[in-house]
Amino acid sequence: MDCWFRNLPKIELHAHLNGSIRNSTLLELARELGEKGTIIFSDFEYVIRKDDRSLREVFKLFDLIHIVTTDHKTITRITKEVVEDFAAENVVYLELRTTPKRNDSIGMSKRSYIEAVLEGLRSVSSSSLDINLSSNDPAKCVAGTKMIYVRLLLSIDRRESTAAAMETVKLALEMKDMGVIGIDLSGNPTVGEWATFVPALKFAREQGLSVTLHCGEVPNPVEIQAMLDFLPGRIGHACCFQDEEWRKLKSSMIPVEICLTSNIRTETISSVDVHHFAELYKENHPIVLCTDDSGVFSTSLSNEYAIASSTFGLGKPEMFQLARIAFDFIFAENQVKMELIKMFESAARTLE
- Active-site annotation, residues: 217
216 makes contact with ligand 6MZ (CB under 6 A): no
Interaction of residue 58 with ligand 6MZ, rule CB under 6 A: yes
Q: Is 79 in the site for ligand 6MZ (CB under 6 A)?
A: no
Contact call for residue 21 and ligand 6MZ (CB under 6 A): no
Of the candidates 83, 4, 5, which has an alpha carbon nearest to the alpha carbon of residue 303?
A: 5
Residue whose CB is less far from ligand 6MZ, 259 or 336: 259
Q: What minimum distance in Å lies between the beta carbon of 156 and ligand 6MZ?
A: 9
With beta carbons less than 8 A apart as the criterion, state whether 327 and 343 touch: no
Tell me how far, at minimum, the Cβ of 288 lies from ligand 6MZ, in Å.
16
For the purposes of burial, counting CB atoms within 10 Å of the CB of 36, is it exposed (0-12), middle (13-18) or buried (19 or more)? Answer: exposed
Residue 232 as a binder of ligand 6MZ (CB under 6 A): the answer is no
Classify residue 93 as exposed, middle or buried by CB count within 10 Å of its CB (0-12, 13-18, 19+): buried
Phi, psi of 242 (to 5 degrees): -110, 180
Going residue by residue from 159 to 198, which x/- string records binding to ligand 6MZ, judged by CB under 6 A?
---------------------------xx-----------
Name the 3-class secondary structure at 137: strand
Task: Kindly tell me which residue out of 76, 168, 210, 262 binds ligand 6MZ, with binding defined by CB under 6 A.
Answer: 262
Q: Is 238 in the site for ligand 6MZ (CB under 6 A)?
A: no
Secondary structure (DSSP) of 175-213: TGGGTEEEEEEES-TTSS-HHHHHHHHHHHHHTT-EEEE
SS3 152: strand
217: contact with ligand 6MZ by CB under 6 A: yes
Q: How far is the CB of 159 from ligand 6MZ (least distance, A)?
A: 8
Percent composition of the chain: helix, strand, coil (DSSP 3-state, to 5): 55, 15, 30
Q: Please, what is the minimum distance in Å from the beta carbon of residue 166 to ligand 6MZ?
A: 18
Phi first, then psi, for residue 278 (nearest 5°) are -60, -50
Residues 103-162 close enough to bind ligand 6MZ by CB under 6 A: 155, 157
Q: Between 259 and 347, whose beta carbon lies closer to ligand 6MZ?
A: 259
Residue 151's H or E segment, with its range, is strand 146-157
Instruction: Catalog residues that contact ligand 6MZ under the rule CB under 6 A.
Output: 16-19, 58, 62, 98-99, 155, 157, 186-187, 214, 217, 262, 266, 292-293
